[in-house]
Amino acid sequence: ELLILDEAWDVCLSTSEDVEQKIGLPYLGLVPQLTSVAPEAKNRWPFDYIVDNPLSAFGELVRSLKTSIVATRAGVRPKTVTVTSALPSEGKTTASICIARVSAQMGQKTVLLDCDVRRRNIIRAIGFEPSVGLLELLDGSATLDQVLVHEEGTGLYLLPLASTGFGPKDAFG
């Protein structure tokens, strides 16, 4: 009886078939940990490795995921992709930067928005500290041209969050 109860509570998604059957949505792909496909990349950020090694197996996996995202709606290219999860530290920031950089490297106009007002993880990960950003754009104290940052190496545009006293309640209230 305990085994039956255990299996009844098992809602793990282990395979692409699990995703499609249990959630009822198409499986887009999987991006493994960088070191599982590139052991030499130990202590490297996946989003930096992709820039330096665009033709690597890891780069190909991210391009494949990006292609799956674009191809999900027949004939209609999505204009917005949201990366989210239920828990912290599941790879949202890393996945977002990887997908955005690959998209820009493929010649597509791409803007990566950092919308996590409390953590500002995208900007921290990239190692950049802007003086103005998304919140200043929203409150009208800065223009889009002032806040957009262009990454020369990838062609990616970033719409960052600056470190200001402006809080989420102020921005979205």
Please report the beta strands in 10-136, taking only residues with DSSP state E, as ranges in sequence order: 111-113
155 or 166, which is more confident? 155
Tell the burial category of 132 from Cβ atoms under 10 Å away from its Cβ (0-12, 13-18, 19+): middle
171 contacts 139 by C-beta, under 8 angstroms: yes
Q: Residue 167: which pLDDT band, with cuts at 50, 70 and 90? A: low
Q: Residue 165: which pLDDT band, with cuts at 50, 70 and 90? A: low
Q: CA-CA distance, 92 to 114, in Å (whole number)?
A: 11
What's the whole-model pTM score?
0.81
Question: What average pLDDT does the segment 141-153 reach?
Answer: 95
Q: What pLDDT is stored for residue 11 in this prediction?
A: 60
Question: What average pLDDT does the segment 19-36 reach?
Answer: 82
Q: What pLDDT is stored for residue 3 in this prediction?
A: 46
151 contacts 51 by C-beta, under 8 angstroms: no
Of 51-60, 62-71, 153-162, minimum mean pLDDT range: 62-71
Residue (of 62, 57, 65, 61) closest to 26 by Cα position: 65
Of 28-37, 91-100, 151-160, minimum mean pLDDT range: 28-37
2 or 24, which is more confident? 24
- Give the three-state DSSP class for 115: coil
How are beta strands 111-113 and 149-150 bridged, if at all?
Answer: unpaired
Q: What pLDDT is stored for residue 87 in this prediction?
A: 82
Please report the beta strands in 26-146, taking only residues with DSSP state E, as ranges in sequence order: 111-113
Q: CA-CA distance, 50 to 31, in Å (whole number)?
A: 12
Q: CA-CA distance, 147 to 170, in Å (whole number)?
A: 19
Tell the burial category of 165 from Cβ atoms under 10 Å away from its Cβ (0-12, 13-18, 19+): exposed
Is residue 133 over pLDDT 70? yes
19: tokens are 């995703």
Q: What pLDDT is stored for residue 169 in this prediction?
A: 59
Amino acid, res. 75: G
Of 31-35, 39-43, 86-90, minimum mean pLDDT range: 86-90
Q: What pLDDT is stored for residue 172 in this prediction?
A: 59
138 or 7, which is more confident? 138
